[in-house]
């Protein structure tokens, strides 16, 4: 049992309040996921060829000023670093493969959690409220967030196995449910060059969609292929640079509720995480139907 949370603000005036509105949604899912929590926030995209990478240091003591100086020397002079405890967001005009190779060579204890022009990812073990306070979820601004609270059932409680999982650039996935065939998916994808980082079943879904999109599918087509390939129970919530996408399996036994107004779309595993939102009493409330793809644009 886990909790999924999504919030997309249609009204530009709410972008500065995104984190403050999303924080009670995350805390409201504590009982569904007390082991770890994570959040992907989508901000105004970097301009031109500039990208950003979410870095995670774990328990390592890091000289972040030294990392920033090294990035400016190796990548490009205007590279910058924004630090939140043991996470940091590196911004530079560079290719992701170049940055990954540089991090692997110069700072092998750092893990790249996400890449893209808009998305930043923060995730950690611990109770959701503690994780949110540690990384300042309430102060985050942007167009939409995807968040998760985890109750581990099939793999260890570690930051790497916390959600969101990411692939490519500006794309993430969170999951409530359990897949029964993650290892058969893995055996199918590894010979195609898809790399796995954990034994978490959610990562199998993430890498499956990554493979389908690498082969030319758009996200909706990849999801439709997944109906016949991903075996198990799931509610998946996904974020792209400009969208939220929600889908449930054919049995739809994992809960989800959507509240939509003219100002926002909010998604959670239970209504209690939505109850604080402004105007929610007048919102269009509904439970997503099985195997239907819902997409909302920022």
CA distances from 233 to 1, 29, 143, 249 (A): 11, 19, 29, 6
Phi and psi angles of residue 95, each rounded to the nearest 5 degrees, phi first: -85, 145
Q: Which residue has the tokens 């604080």?
A: 276
CA distances from 196 to 161, 192, 275 (A): 11, 12, 38
Question: How is residue 40 written in tokens?
Answer: 């992907």
Report the interhelical angle of 96-106 vs 64-74 (nearest 10°). 130
Question: How is residue 84 written in tokens?
Answer: 């939140």
Burial of 65 (0-12, 13-18, 19+ CB in 10 A): exposed
Q: Which of 2, 172, 206, 253 is catalytic?
A: 2
| CA 196-52-57 angle, 5° bins | 60
CA–CA gap between residue 11 and residue 202 (Å, rounded): 32
2 is catalytic: yes
Looking at residue 271, the DSSP 8-state letter turns out to be G
Q: How many CB atoms lie within 10 A of CB 82?
A: 13
Side-chain-side CA neighbours of 69 within 13 Å: the count stands at 5
Residues known to be catalytic = 2
């Amino acid at each position: 049992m886990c909790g999924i949370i999504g919030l997309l603000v249609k009204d530009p005036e709410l972008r500065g309040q995104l984190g403050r509105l999303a924080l009670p949604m995350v805390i409201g899912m504590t009982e569904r996921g007390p082991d770890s929590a994570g959040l992907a926030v989508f901000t105004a995209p970097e301009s031109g060829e500039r990208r950003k990478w979410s870095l995670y240091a774990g328990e390592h003591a890091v000289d972040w000023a030294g990392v920033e100086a090294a990035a400016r020397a190796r990548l490009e002079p205007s590279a910058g670093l924004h630090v939140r405890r043991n996470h940091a967001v590196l911004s530079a005009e560079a290719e992701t493969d170049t940055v990954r190779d540089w991090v692997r060579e110069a700072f092998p204890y750092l893990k790249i959690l996400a890449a893209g022009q808009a998305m930043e990812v923060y995730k950690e073990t611990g109770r959701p409220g503690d994780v949110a306070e540690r990384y300042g979820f309430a102060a985050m601004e942007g167009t939409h967030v995807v968040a998760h609270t985890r109750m581990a059932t099939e793999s260890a409680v570690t930051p790497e196995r916390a959600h969101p999982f990411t692939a490519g650039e500006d794309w993430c996935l969170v999951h409530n449910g359990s897949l029964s065939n993650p290892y058969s998916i893995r055996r199918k994808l590894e010979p195609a060059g898809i790399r796995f980082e954990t034994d978490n079943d959610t990562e199998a879904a993430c890498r499956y969609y990554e493979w389908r999109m690498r082969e030319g599918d758009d996200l909706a087509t990849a999801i439709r292929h997944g109906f016949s390939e991903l075996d198990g129970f799931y509610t998946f919530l996904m974020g792209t640079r400009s969208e939220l996408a929600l889908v449930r399996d054919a049995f739809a036994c994992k809960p989800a509720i959507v509240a939509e107004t003219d100002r926002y779309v909010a998604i959670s595993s239970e209504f209690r995480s939505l109850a604080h939102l402004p105007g929610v009493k007048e919102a269009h409330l509904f439970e997503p139907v099985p195997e239907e793809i819902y997409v909302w644009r920022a």
